[in-house]
Amino acid sequence: MKIALASDHGGFELKEAIKKHLTEDRKIEVLDLGTDSTASVDYPVYGHKAAHAVADGEADLGIVCCGTGIGISMAANKVKGIRCALCTNEYMAEFTKRHNNANMLAFGGRTTTPDLANRMVDIWLDTEYEGGRHQRRVDQIEE
């Protein structure tokens, strides 16, 4: 299992906190696609990088962060095959796996604490996709 991580400057510190949690607490390999500081950069560049890593099979899943999580999730969702869910609470993190089989999560570094983001990451990773009637709807997204 490998998870692609990317952020702009607004999500940099949250990305670093998620990277620490994934690598140290969960022993999951990460593919860190930047950015690597709080210097200003453009979030679409990083959203696309992580989304292409997932869509092309370089990583199994992806997590992206910007100031709000909004712009970078919009960018990621432009890549075919990506279902990137902007989550702000545990219920959303659980149900975006159960029902949408989200292959990427997005968070806001200015709206979500590292503790909450890491709890949402854990829930998303530990929840099973339900399939069944939800697969028809996921297929409709792809079509």
Smallest separation (angstroms) from ligand RB5 to the CB of 86: 10
Q: Judged by CB under 6 A, does residue 31 bind ligand RB5?
A: no
87 catalytic? Reply is no
Q: Which of 8, 49, 86, 96 binds ligand RB5 (CB under 6 A)?
A: 8
Task: Tell me the window of 68-76, 84-92, 94-102, 123-131 that interacts with ligand RB5 (CB under 6 A).
Answer: 68-76
84 catalytic? Reply is no
DSSP string computed for the chain: -EEEEEE-GGGHHHHHHHHHIIIIIS--EEEE----SSS---HHHHHHHHHHHHHTTSSSEEEEEESSSHHHHHHHTTSTT--EEE-SSHHHHHHHHHTT--SEEEEETTTS-HHHHHHHHHHHHHSPP--THHHHHHHHHH-
Catalytic positions, written as ranges: 66, 99
Residues that bind ligand RB5 (CB under 6 A): 8, 10, 43, 66-68, 70-71
